[in-house]
Amino acid sequence: MRKETLAIHATHLQDETAASIAPPVFLTTTFERSEDGSYPKGHMYSRNSNPNRDVLEKGLAQLEGGEVAFVFGSGLAAVSAVFQCMKSGDHVLMPTVGYYASYKLAEEIMGPWGLQVSQVDMTDLAAVEAAIRPETKLIWVETPANPLLTLSDIEAICKIAHARNILVGVDNTLTSPILQNPIQLGADIVMHATTKYIGGHSDVLGGAVIFKEASAWSERVKRVQILMGATQNPLDCYLLARGLKTLPLRMREHSKNALELATRLENHAGIEQVHYPGLPSNPNYALAIKQMPNGQSGMIAIQIKGDEAKARRVANRLQLFQQATSLGGVESLVEHRKSIEGPGSTTPGNLLRLSIGLEHVEDLWEDLNQAILGA
């Protein structure tokens, strides 16, 4: 099935009580045993499994082209589960430009447990190869990378890693399974903060890990999910499965709006630089078309001509764009990323990250234009 069809039907949950088209929500903590002590429907306790969680995991695995998937209460919980599969002394290689909290998780929480972590420019294949150590067990890629939207060559990194029996995990949050499928490019693990595009309405937290194939690592993640209690509740699973059904249509519109605005902003007198991989002028454009042939996401990063104070004034003048952390919802958001990341951030002070929503593109343009000119 094509993505539009698969997104709707992969999370189908048959209602055996009323034959409803919309799936029920199984808000139960436990399930009844039969007389012989077995569980006739395959569920014992909702921390172990739940029908709503099962269909969400099945749908995500199918959309990403993986064999198994596991969902969690947040994106960071999903990242944490992968890192917890590693042993003391193991090394993970992470990008220098990427989601700030993922690196801090590895450094501050996993570091004292013995995990070794280092960062490298993932756009430089020679640097990636040089940064590998004998104890490297995982290369963690984020592409497009937050917040500068730089791209890494997934296929090339996988070839480097697999020649050394190293696994590759890809944070695919900014594109969703609709625009990019890292497993098809060789990745072993895909992670999503389902809070973002998959949920799509800024009303549910979640994370997911999808494995190319069932393995010792996937079994370990499953045990972490159950034994650490990092499971997602049935209602949130229901909401995320519902979000999957409209994901192909939403991603198409997010990407179309973003490309139009990025093109106009690139020629705006008040803009120093536009970071958007779908622009032909972007140095990663050829790679973007190769890895994301159906669109390059709804995320844009812009650098205002001027200093950090000027960028903050632009953000404050915006009316349709709301100032808030997160991305991927139907509404457009703006964030001054450096102030969110803290004193150790390397993000330029004049940079604003835009999550382009599903409003009419002309209304969004008028809002951006007046804010830039008026600041």
Is 285 one of the catalytic residues?
no
Listed in sequence order, the residues at least 6 apart from 370 whose beta carbon sits closer than 8 Å to its beta carbon are 317
DSSP string, 289-343: HHH-TT---SEEEEEESS-HHHHHHHHHH-SSSEE-S---SSS-EEE-HHHHH-T
Asked if the bond preceding 293 is cis, omega within 30° of 0, the reply is: no
Task: Say how many CA atoms lie within 13 Å of 329 toward its Cβ.
Answer: 17
Closest CA to 260 of 206, 217, 300: 300
Please write down the HEC assignment for all residues of 206-266.
CEEEEECCCCHHHHHHHHHHHHCCCCCCHHHHHHHHHHHHHHHHHHHHHHHHHHHHHHHHH
Hey, how many other C-beta atoms are within 10 angstroms of the C-beta on 26? 19
- Total residue length of the chain: 375
* 203 given a catalytic annotation: no
Cα–Cα distance list, 355 to 210, 224, 289, 337, 348 (Å): 25, 32, 20, 12, 18
Q: Where are the beta strands (DSSP E) in 96-202?
A: 116-120, 136-142, 167-171, 189-192
Q: What is the phi/psi pair of residue 78, to 5°? A: -65, -45
Choice among 3, 53, 137, 196 that is catalytic: 196
Catalytic residue among 3, 90, 99, 188: 99
- At position 145, the amino acid (one-letter code) is A
Indicate which residue of 39, 47, 58, 290 is catalytic: 47
Tokens of 249: 């249509």
Pair of tokens at residue 6: 């698969």
For β-strands 91-95 and 116-120, DSSP reports them as parallel
Q: Which of 3, 53, 103, 171 is catalytic?
A: 171
Give me the residue label for tokens 């004292």.
Answer: 112
The Cα–Cα gap between 370 and 318 comes to: 8
47 a catalytic residue? yes
Residue 106 is classified by DSSP as I
Query: Are β-strands 189-192 and 207-211 bridged in parallel, bridged antiparallel, or unpaired?
Result: antiparallel
Which positions are catalytic?
47, 99, 171, 196
